[in-house]
Amino acid sequence: MVTLNDVYIIGAGETKFGELWDKSLRELAVEAGLKAVEDAGVYTKDIDILYGSNTLGAGISYQNDIGSLISDFSGIAADHIPALRVEASTASGAAAIREAYLSIRSGEYNVAMIGGVEKLTDIYGSEILDKTSTLLDSEWEAFFGATPAAVAALTARKYMKDFNVSKEVLARISVNDHENASKNPDAQFRNRISVETALNSLPVAEPLNIMDCSPIGDGAAALLLASEEFVKKNKIDGVRIIASSIAQDFLALHSRESIYRLDSTVIAARKALEKAGIRNDQIGMVELHNSYSIYGLIALEDLGFAEKGKAKDLVEADIKLDGRIPVNPSGGLKAKGNPFGATGVGQAVEAYLQFKNRAGERQIKGLEYAMLHNMGGSGSTSIVHILGGA
């Protein structure tokens, strides 16, 4: 019988998320990385491997080989520490966490560093949609004029009709994000918004308005993971990753079994809960992938917090910071921000801060388990992590 190692998060750091005109891709990655290294109290010699996560660097910053880039400018290239980039569309961040987790869990390494980074503001206007639409099926969705927002809108229209859900319900997912982000200094938007503001914002792809859509922004987030052996030897009080799961679905929405059930999410969540050996109602916070408000709503169902069509019952009270299942205490993709490669890593940074009682005004008390949900595109990849436990 092979023994698998327990894996802990021992340090976290992130840049502010937002339109960071004065910072380059590499500067962002290094800033977050150094914060995480300092937070963990480790040294370069302790790091066995580095996983960089990034989604559109080649298309926007004309930069590939982001693993080497981060290693180089973090000043560890001369130490010849292996460095790879992990890409899984907008789930790249969680994919990097999972690869780092597996590398330690298997016994190969003791300490892995994760650096998620995205620089989206180096291009302007509708050119950004040329790039983000490459995350769809380019031949059979984007070719015909589909954009990520349009695909989310197709899901939203049908869902709203079949389950009699109003736009106000969708808006409440974004309102909750803004409320929580007002308490997060790293968030892109720290302003509170009302349901009316959300409903009256400009249409992007009907029925979705601009306030249903996560913003374009830059940012980086970094983590250090370590084995139980390393944690014990160095007397570090880490946060344990008790489950990591991933599942896939068809790339294009039109090929899936349902257009408003995220099967990759359903399967990843179920497997994660099984591995963690806990029930869904033991989860004390969830960071979910609301790149569009509709995905936040249906993810609540597909992660198991509500029956299909019933997430509308949770949006008024349950999802709030002091509710039954706090959703996106960080401010989520809508208001903390969605710099793709950094998004999933940033979700783990938030959970880490919450467990360490370092989340300031948005601190959740008595947190036992946290669930993280990072999704690629319209649901082609879903990755679920569960953190916590003794």
Q: Is 164 in the site for other proteins (CB under 8 A)?
A: no
CB of 89 to other proteins, least distance (A): 17
CB of 26 to other proteins, least distance (A): 28
Among 7, 146, 187, 321, binds other proteins (CB under 8 A): 146
Between residues 150 and 246, which has the closer beta carbon with respect to other proteins? 150
Q: Is 205 in the site for other proteins (CB under 8 A)?
A: yes
**According to DSSP H, which parts of 166-314 are helical?**
167-181, 195-199, 228-233, 263-276, 293-302
CA dihedral 84, 96, 263, 302 (to 10 degrees): -170
Which x/- pattern over 235-264 shows residues binding other proteins (rule: CB under 8 A)?
A: ---------------x-xxxx---x-----
Contacts of 376 (CB under 8 A, 6+ apart): 88, 89, 90, 91, 92, 135, 382
> How far is residue 221's CA from residue 339's CA, in Å, rounded to a whole number?
10
Contacts of 23 (CB under 8 A, 6+ apart): 15, 31, 119, 218
Which x/- pattern over 208-227 shows residues binding other proteins (rule: CB under 8 A)?
A: x-------------------
Between residues 75 and 203, which has the closer beta carbon with respect to other proteins? 203
CB of 213 to other proteins, least distance (A): 9
Among 10, 86, 149, 171, binds other proteins (CB under 8 A): 149
DSSP conformational letter for 333: I
DSSP conformational letter for 182: T
Q: Which pair of structure tokens corresponds to residue 295?
A: 């995905």
CB of 377 to other proteins, least distance (A): 13
End-to-end CA distance of the chain: 24
Q: Is 281 in the site for other proteins (CB under 8 A)?
A: no
Q: Is 78 in the site for other proteins (CB under 8 A)?
A: no
Q: Containing H/E element for 159?
A: helix 148-162
Which spans of this chain sit near other proteins (rule: CB under 8 A)? 126-127, 129-130, 133, 137, 139-147, 149-151, 153-158, 161, 202-208, 250, 252-255, 259
